[in-house]
Structure 1
Amino acid sequence: MAVLQDRGRIALASAIAAQPLYLAWGRGLPEWDAETPPEPSTATALVDEIGRRLITAVQYVVPHAEGEIELPDGSRYTASAQPSKWVHARWTFDYADAAGETVRELGVFIGGEMAEGLPPGQRYFTAAQVVDAGELYTMERFEGFTRSANTRQVQEFVLPF
């Protein structure tokens, strides 16, 4: 049986890190607040996308017991000057992005296309401004939270390859 090699994984990570990466958030379904369903592995979109933000920062990371990047499962990573098979992606949303909306799902999208005629430098896009969603890399569903205009939301993922 063929086994994907580390150099191949690094090549994949490098190819993805060079693409526009978006973090989209969605309303999901209100019944998820009582019982969140498992995430499917075949989804191509969020159930009810609110909007998405272009990536703020991307870097390669490696596992490190005392690393400064910690994930919910307790695993830790540290930045790497060399390409690796792990990509740390961060999105910093503006205060007004989706203010007042209930968010129950997140999705990392690779590539995609936004509507023509939008202001240069725009980094947050409503669902109506998305022409092609791109490829859904990962998604997460959870009990909803309401976006506050008083909070600058930051989301981080370590994407494994």
Structure 2
Amino acid sequence: MSATLQDAGRTALATALKAMPMHLAWGRGDPAWDTTPEAEPTDATALVAEVGRRKVTSAEYATPDAAGVILMPGGERFAVSATPTPWLYLRTVFDFAEANGETIREVALFVGGATDAALPPGQHYYTPAQVTDPGRMYLLDRGERIERTGTTYQAFEYILPL
């Protein structure tokens, strides 16, 4: 006999995850990926060459909605939900100066973890030296290379199905 995870259970997981500290980290990756892309592993625990990380800017429940304004790469659409659902919509916006001059080849969502308690309370971007516990990697995304300049906000959006 096999068990089937229920939507109520998935909603409970989404609620637990939403309550945890979450950071989106980005890194240089491997320059060889520019010519020979490499598939994301499923057992990674860290980025190849982390540059920094930012607190997730927004974590909201979401629901599939053909008329929704949240568009995912596969064409699926979602809308933000005021009530808990099995899906989390995460948005992280990196500031202009963050990782200025860096080439970014990978990003990852980390849950849990901690940063140096001596840092200012309003700080939301952290270098690897300011991270005391990286947390657990939840997702890894090795997409197109991003050349960072001081003239661009960089936003990342994900829908986490649980």
For the aligned pair, the TM-score class normalised by the smaller chain equals over 0.9
The one-character-per-residue Cα deviations of 1:78-111 (angstroms, maximum 9, x if unpaired) are 1111100000011111111101000000000101
TM-score, structure 1 normalization: 0.97
Q: Does 1:54 align with 2:55?
A: yes
- Which letter does structure 2 place at the counterpart of 1:59? E
Q: Whole-Å Cα distance in 2 between the matches of residues 30 and 22 of structure 1?
A: 24
Q: Whole-Å Cα distance in 1 between the matches of residues 52 and 4 of structure 2?
A: 37
Q: Whole-Å Cα distance in 2 between the matches of residues 35 and 143 of structure 1?
A: 12
Task: Give 1:132 shift.
Answer: 1.1
Q: Whole-Å Cα distance in 2 between the matches of residues 102 and 129 of structure 1?
A: 21
Partner of 1:80: 81
8 Å Cα contact 1:36-1:142 kept in structure 2:
no
Partner of 1:16: 17
Q: Does 1:98 align with 2:99?
A: yes
- Which letter does structure 2 place at the counterpart of 1:24? A
Post-superposition, which runs of at least 4 consecutive aligned residues in structure 1 deviate over 3 A? none
TM-score, structure 2 normalization: 0.96
Task: Give 1:160 shift.
Answer: 0.9
Q: Whole-Å Cα distance in 2 between the matches of residues 80 and 92 of structure 1?
A: 21
RMSD between aligned alpha carbons? 0.9
Task: Give 1:142 shift.
Answer: 2.5
Q: Does 1:115 align with 2:116?
A: yes
- Which consecutive unaligned segments of at least 5 residues does structure 1 have? none
Q: Whole-Å Cα distance in 2 between the matches of residues 7 and 66 of structure 1?
A: 24
Partner of 1:43: 44
SS at match of 1:142: coil
Q: Does 1:6 align with 2:21?
A: no
SS at match of 2:17: helix
Calculate percent identity across the aligned residue pairs.
49
